[in-house]
Amino acid sequence: MKYVDEFRDGQLAQELAQKIKREVQPGRQYHLMEFCGGHTHAIFRYGIPDLLPPEVKMIHGPGCPVCVLPIVRIDSAIELAMDHGVILCTYGDMMRVPGSRKMSLLKAKAEGADVRMVYSTLDALALARQNPEREVVFFAIGFETTTPPTAMAIQQAERLGIKNFSVFCNHVLTPSAISTILESPEVRELGTLPLDGFVGPAHVSTVIGSQPYEYFAEEYQSPVVIAGFEPLDVLQAILMLVRQINEGRAEVENEFTRAVSRDGNLKAKRIVADTFEMRREFEWRGLGMVPYSGLKIKARFAAFDAEKRFTLKRRSARENKACECPAILRGVKTPRDCKLFGTVCTPENPIGSCMVSSEGACAAHYSYGRYRDHLAADTPSNLIQKSEA
């Protein structure tokens, strides 16, 4: 497919990997965080860790919107579906995320709640028009990529005079999450999470542009390279980061110029700014309360705000204590460090959100990386001993 296949050329990937190996300085470590779940997915799917020299370590950041949504918000969505009798619609990957007491939207549906999976906010609006006697709530989550479509749906509902449609808004902002990571004690004080550079999000940046990252480069002296989601994009971005680190630079570079400009998509940004405003704080799984990191619907569109329209009980929600999602999302632990990984917690029966979404670090590692672990454990000498025994 055009603009896909040519960015997946295996021969070129090998050549890029060779370039990275040549430019890595001996004795130096390069800890690079990919912020976006799309990159996490691509890195595992195309076996990029196998191509990298041991000096380059990829750390998986909190860039999967499903993974960072706290349980209390999932509980609220389930409450909307079960107690308020609405048609609750959402994107597919939200359906199986466990809330409190292992309840999920899929289980709520099995128990009779009207939960529908939609591909687009356009489908949610269509449902509202087809069911004028029912309340239709769109459970909206996501970063800056999914926010403009939600804003469009709200504006269109107003324009068309659709009265039975509202949005349960959980949209979050990428730059504030990156700030929180850079300000975290693990990075600043303890040094347990060394971060030498960031692979910046692809599709988020098509909307917000490369400009918002300039602050990190300047303030935290952290290089950022915005990269597309194909394997060659990721390898090229790693090469560009290695070069910046070698040369002592901390700049924003853009590998994804085919879709990202400095200012981003002005039309999409304008529609978002017209529809939403910042929440003073929003809770993230793994990061806790993060100031000015989430969006709420502006008062002008209050009629379409499910949080205004329905009275939701705010219960405190309990996380599964053994689940390491919060530490994995901060990059402090890896999926392998979690006792539940691959045993109790699998993509078929996820305990934590990192295992639910295909962009979650645990699901990506389970699908593409876990056999590598076995190979690493079975070193040649072990294999010989085993075969002799």
Partner 1 sequence: MCLAIPVRVEALQEDEMALVDIGGIRKSVSIALVEDVAVGDYVILHVGYALNKIDPEEAERTLALFAEMGELEQIASEAAAQL
Binding site for partner 1 (CB under 8 A): 1-4, 6-7, 9, 12, 15-16, 19, 36-38, 41, 63-66, 91, 93, 119-123, 141-143, 145-146, 148-149, 152, 201-204, 206-207, 228-229, 232-233, 236, 255-260, 264-265, 267-268, 271, 357-359
261 vs 208: CA distance, rounded Å: 9
Instruction: Report d(CA 228, CA 258) in Å as an integer.
Output: 9
**Nearest distance, CB of residue 4 and partner 1, angstroms:** 6
Our CB check for partner 1 shows the closer of 15 and 247 to be 15
Residue in 354, 365, 357 with CA at minimum distance from that of residue 328: 354
The two tokens of residue 34 are: 């990919």
Eight-class DSSP state of 169: E
The least distance separating partner 1 from the CB of residue 178, rounded to whole angstroms, comes to 16
Supply the minimum distance, in Å, between the C-beta of residue 231 and partner 1: 11
Considering the complex, state which of residue 178 and residue 312 has its C-beta at the smaller distance from partner 1. 178
N- to C-terminal Cα distance for the chain?
50
Which strand (E) or helix (H) includes residue 193?
none
Q: Smallest distance, Å, CB 381 to partner 1?
A: 38
Nearest distance in Å: CB 341, partner 1: 21
Tell me how far apart the alpha carbons of residues 128 and 214 are, in angstroms, rounded to a whole number: 41
Q: Distance between CA 128 and CA 157 in Å, rounded? A: 9
Q: Burial letters for 143-159: b for 16+ Cβ neighbours within 10 Å, e otherwise?
A: bbbbbbbbbbbbeebee
| Residue 342 identity | G
User: What is the smallest separation between the CB atom of 45 and partner 1, expressed in angstroms?
Assistant: 10
Q: What DSSP state is assigned to residue 173?
A: -
Min dist CB 360 to partner 1, Å, is 10
In the block, residue with structure tokens 């392998």 = 336
Query: Which tokens hold the place of 356?
Result: 């639910």
What is the C-alpha to C-alpha distance for residues 293 and 290, in angstroms, rounded to an integer? 6
Nearest CA among 289, 317, 365 for reference residue 98: 317
Q: Which of 43, 58, 33 minimizes the C-alpha distance to 359?
A: 43
Decide whether 201 or 326 has the Cβ nearer to partner 1: 201
For partner 1, which is the closer residue by CB, 150 or 184?
A: 150
Which residues fall within 8 angstroms of residue 309, CB to CB, at 6 or more apart? 135, 166, 303
Nearer to partner 1, 331 or 360 (CB): 360
Which of residues 196 and 230 has its CB atom nearest to partner 1 in the complex? 230
Residue 253 or 283: which CB sits closer to partner 1? 253
Residue 3 C-beta: closest distance to partner 1, Å: 4
Q: Residue 188 or 258: which CB sits closer to partner 1?
A: 258
Q: Is 66 helix (H, G, I), strand (E, B) or coil?
A: helix
